[in-house]
Structure 1
Amino acid sequence: MTQDVEMKELPSNSLPSSSTPSTLNHLKEIASLIETGAHAREVRRIFRAVRLTMALRRKLKPPVLSAFLNYVLTPGSDVHTRLISFLPKEDDHEMEVDTASSVTQVSLKHSLPEIEIFCYLLVLIFLIDKKKYNEAKACSSASIARLKNVNRRTVDVLASRLFFYYSLCYELTGDLAEIRGNLLALHRIATLRHDELGQETLLNLLLRNYLHYNLYDQAEKLRSKAPRFEAHSNQQATLIF
């Protein structure tokens, strides 16, 4: 699947319900966009995929996620088994899926790191939104362990979101102190890989971590030594303020 897929961003009420693509098919289009971006090494496509995913987060349900994982991952593989285990079992009739198109589409079943990391991100967002924080912590920790072994610039965008949700999981359970050392280690890895988005994200998460525990001296020391990023984003600037 190498064609450029551009998913239209239309209001949910802009088409008759019978013509509106299902959430599952939207996810398949996003996966195709990520695949194209990975092969072409075009980071902008990964950015677009993340933005489209955030617009779908309220529609993510266990049957839809399960069907999507079956579509992009090999059933029985380590990552598939791990992610499926985080999803609660629900009735099949709850799955919103365009059966006509799903029969004719061929599963990706690729081992692209970008697709695998995207699957971690989807499941993690779902768990946080459902307030399943212990499961979210386990999922986020597994995703971070996987990220340490992936060094691809097209993964950096997805990784930055996982870093954010990783920290959020531990903040929501009052365990931020537990991951401070890991955040520092991840920041060193991002620096060695020249991953500026990761460095910027992790720097803000570390500052938030210090400020959460009123460790102002450590926060100021870290801030004073932090590099200046040319492409500083407003999104990152608002993480801690």
Structure 2
Amino acid sequence: MDVDMTTSGEQLPASAKHTVPELEIYCYLLVLIFLIDQKKYDEAKTCSSSGIARLKNINRRTVDVLASRLYFYYSYSYELTNSLAEIRGNLLSLHKMATLRRDELGQETLLNLLMRNYLHYNLYDQAEKLRSKAPRFEAHSNQQFCRYLFYLGKIRTIQLEYTDAKESLLQAARKAPVAARGFRIQCNKWAVIVRLLLGEIPERTVFMQNGMKKSLTPYFELTNAVRIGDLELFRSVADKFSRTFSSDGTHNMIVRLQHNVIRTGLRNISISYSRISLPDIAKKLRLDSHNPVADAESIVAKAIRDGAIDATIDHTNG
């Protein structure tokens, strides 16, 4: 009803009546999800912004769970229109508001949304600064904790902290719900790259998991090229699946892998030969630089210094 009656029969204006806050936010959420399903992304952005504006005026613990879902779809609607940068400042203010209100579920959700926002634009340093300075809290949502571990793993990978990255990514994949197949696939893709960068070769069973075989095929072929140390095969796989690697955000990591491929190939050569010329090494490693012999000598010298192979270089005889 739009009006209410006082005991004396006097009518109150319609504005005196207020919708139950939980019901109001729930309606915003339903409409927002419907608009996204209908691919009406501009209308979804408008709806989500209105819902967030209303949410800022509500401070009730019973709204926290609905608010966390509204935060997610608010960010998602802007991501679908490739305009995440527009709401970064608003997400920061919402995170501050959730912290002051001791809304821990909201803090978890908004921290992940901000990290995703930064990582979307490859702003890894800003994401790490935010993560390190954000207030600590106990994880209340397994899904949000898994997302946090995944984003942390990506940051650690870019920072060359491969051991920590591997632990975070594998933990995220283990803790993720079975139904979250797409998320688990992404975790496994990044974990495979990190393990290869660490000099490990992932087990074949990793690529044969239910529902993941097709998605992980490019990474299986990449792993095979790294395992045998074939630089030409590695480049062929990288070119063949370049679009997949770019969309996964792993292309830069794969460029780093080239050094591991060369080192593996060199290790295989050192096992097979007691004596071999530098031009032959360059030929077997398939180095295509302007001065492959000089590059081969540099690579061999570095491998000897690092202890990767047990050998000596005869400069006089090459």
Range with bigger deviation, 110-119 or 205-214 = 110-119
Q: 2:138 aligns to what SS in structure 1?
A: coil
- Residue in structure 2 matching 1:225, options 130, 133, 142: 133
Aligned to 1:186: 94
Following superposition of structure 1 onto structure 2, how do residues 159-170 of structure 1 map, counting pairs within 5 Å?
159-170=67-78
Q: Is 2:59 aligned against 1:151? A: yes
Dislocated runs of 4+, deviation >4 Å: none
What letter matches 2:29 in structure 1? Answer: L
- State the shift of 1:231 in Å: 3.4
- Residue 171 (1) aligns with residue 79 (2): yes
Amino acid at match of 2:112: N
Please tell me whether the aligned partners of residues 45 and 78 of structure 2 are also in contact (alpha carbons under 8 angstroms): yes
TM-fit CA distance, 1:111: 1.6
Identify the structure with bigger relative contact order (alpha carbons < 8 Å, sequence gap 6+).
1
The residue that corresponds to 2:111 in the other structure is 203
Q: Distance in 1 between matches of 2:2 and 2:73?
A: 25
- Residue number in structure 1 paired with 2:29: 121
Cα offsets for 1:53-87 (capped at 9, x unmatched): xxxxxxxxxxxxxxxxxxxx869x89xxxxxxxxx
The alignment covers a number of residue pairs equal to 138
- CA distance 1:213–1:119, change in 2 (3 Å): same
Relative to the length of structure 1, the TM-score reads: 0.54
Question: Where does residue 215 of structure 1 map in the other structure?
Answer: 123
CA positional deviation for 1:183: 0.1
1:136 maps to a residue whose letter is A
TM-score of the two chains, using structure 2 as the length reference? 0.41
CA shift digits 1:133-160 (9 cap, x unpaired):
0000000000000000000000011000
- Over 3 Å counting, the alpha-carbon distance change for 1:210 and 1:110 in structure 2 is same
Contact (CA 8 Å) 2:108, 2:139: kept in 1 or not? no
Structure 1 position 234, deviation (Å) = 1.7
Change (3 A) 1:128 1:225: same
Asked if the contact 1:205/1:239 (under 8 Å) is kept, the reply is no
Q: In the alignment, what sits opposite 2:46?
A: 138
Describe the shift of the 1:238–1:74 C-alpha distance in structure 2 as closer, same or farther (beyond 3 A). Answer: farther
Instruction: Please say if residues 127 and 135 of structure 1, whose CA atoms lie closer than 8 Å, have aligned partners that are also in contact.
Output: yes
Q: CA deviation at 1:226?
A: 2.4
Rate the CA distance shift 1:183–1:74 in 2: closer, same or farther, 3 A.
farther
Q: What is the CA–CA distance in structure 2 between the aligned matches of 1:198 and 1:115, rounded to whole Å?
A: 18
Shift of 1:237: 2.5
3-state SS of paired residue (1:207): helix
Q: Deviations over 1:8-34 (max 9, x none)?
A: xxxxxxxxxxxxxxxxxxxxxxxxxxx
Q: Could you tell me how far 1:110 is from its partner in structure 2?
A: 6.7
How far apart are residue 225 of structure 1 and its match?
A: 1.4
**CA-atom RMSD, angstroms?**
2.1
Show the counterpart of 1:111.
19
Deviations 1:147-174 (A, max 9, x none): 0000000001100000000000000000
Task: For residue 126 of structure 1, give the secondary structure of its aligned residue in structure 2.
Answer: helix
Shift of 1:236: 0.6
Q: Which amino acid aligns with 2:131?
A: R
Q: Secondary structure at the match of 1:123?
A: helix
Q: Tell me, what secondary structure is at the counterpart of 1:121?
A: helix
Q: Quick one: structure 1 residues 217 and 231, their matched pair in 2 at CA, closer, same or farther if it must change by over 3 Å? A: closer
Unaligned runs of 5+ in 1: 1-72, 79-108
- In structure 2, stretches of 5+ residues that fail to align are 4-13, 151-318
Q: Distance in 2 between matches of 1:74 and 1:149?
A: 22
Secondary structure in 1 aligned to 2:82? Answer: coil
Higher percent of residues as helix: 2
Identity %: 79
